[in-house]
Amino acid sequence: MSIARRVRLKTYMLIVLMVAFGATGDVLLGKGMRETGGIALSSPALFIDGIIRGFHNDLVWMGIFSLIFFFLCYMLVLSWADYSFVSPASAISYAVVTFLGWMLLGESVNSTRWLGVLVICLGVFLVGHTPTRTTPEIE
Amino acid sequence: MRVWILLAIVVLAGTAGEISVTRAMKRIGEVHQFNPRALLKVLGRAFRIGWMWLGLALLAMAFFSLLALLSWENVSFVVPLTALSYVVGALMAKLFLKEKVDRIRWMGVLLVVVGVVLVWVG
């Protein structure tokens, strides 16, 4: 396998991991925070109280760990790939989350949202066909 | 008015934060080994770079501005507007990181913005 091909494959793999950890983290954190009553934004005291209650929930912690792994993958992929490649490419998560919600949770998805999913996939497809790195390696 | 100022902070600080993190990681250079030991070493190096801390500070600022914004406005109003970050990000990457954003990548970025808006408006 050529070096360029290997780097591209490595980039795709880390973006897949980012999407998986990011989406899982968001879902767990959202579920956990709703279980503990959510965060009130009406006053700073209630806000902090909401966050502290969140920390007593296992799902919240699992979500936080998942998001830490997301950020680690993000850091790693940015050590070689362009930001202007990784950032739009990771928007595929909107499409994945919509699709999984529809398939696994039976959420209803209207035609506007399906069109959005299609347009995102098209955009990511285009970005995916540009070079993963356009800057020279600095040492 | 304060809504638009906060929205600008969410988009600009968020993007600038990610650009700073990218700058730090590019200084470390391409990571080749992914075993836990090698990864810890990468993390150790990353947190000794000023850009990393600046990036995290900016991202934290964007995050709390987003929370404040969400306390006044609906998610379906806020999130589609933050999709503009993809355009600002490509511009900043070109300007500050000297990445070459060609016509195909621009088209992809614009499609992603339109798609995210559609998913949230729908």
Kindly report, residue by residue over B10-41, the tens digit of the pLDDT: 999 999 999 999 999 999 999 999 999 999 99
CB atoms inside a 10 Å sphere around CB A5: 9
Q: Residue A13's pLDDT is what?
A: 96
Contact list, A80 vs chain B (CB under 8 Å): 29-31
C-alpha A27/C-alpha A21 separation (Å) is: 10
3-state secondary structure of A138: coil
Q: What percent of chain B has pLDDT over 70?
A: 100
Is residue A27 scored above 70 in pLDDT?
A: yes
Residue B31, SS3?
Answer: coil
Q: What is the pLDDT of residue A42?
A: 72
Task: State both tokens at A55.
Answer: 């920390």
Q: Is the pLDDT of residue A89 over 70?
A: yes
A38-47, A56-65, B39-48: the lowest-pLDDT one = A38-47
Q: Do B115 and A118 touch (CB under 8 A)?
A: yes
pLDDT at A107: 84
Q: What gap in Å lies between CA B99 and CA A9, rounded to an integer? A: 20
**A132: pLDDT confidence band, cut at 50, 70 and 90?**
very high
Q: Please report the pLDDT score of residue A55 as a whole number.
A: 84
Q: Are B100 and A134 in contact (CB under 8 A)?
A: yes
Instruction: Say which of B27, B71, B86 has its CB closest to residue A88.
Output: B86
Query: Chain A interface, mutation test: which of B106, B119, B121, most A Cβ atoms within 10 Å?
Result: B119
* A47 has a pLDDT exceeding 80: no
Which residue shows structure tokens 């968001």? Answer: A26
pLDDT band at A139 (very low <50, low <70, confident <90, very high): low
From B22, B90, B122, residue closest to A116, measured CB to CB: B122
Q: What's the rounded mean pLDDT across residues A116-126?
A: 97
B98 to chain A: which residues are within 8 Å by CB? 135
pLDDT band at residue A31 under the 50/70/90 scheme = confident
Task: Pinpoint the alpha helices (H) of chain A.
Answer: 3-35, 44-54, 58-78, 83-89, 92-104, 111-128
Q: What rounded mean pLDDT belongs to chain B?
A: 93
Pairwise CB contact (< 8 Å): B71 & A95: no
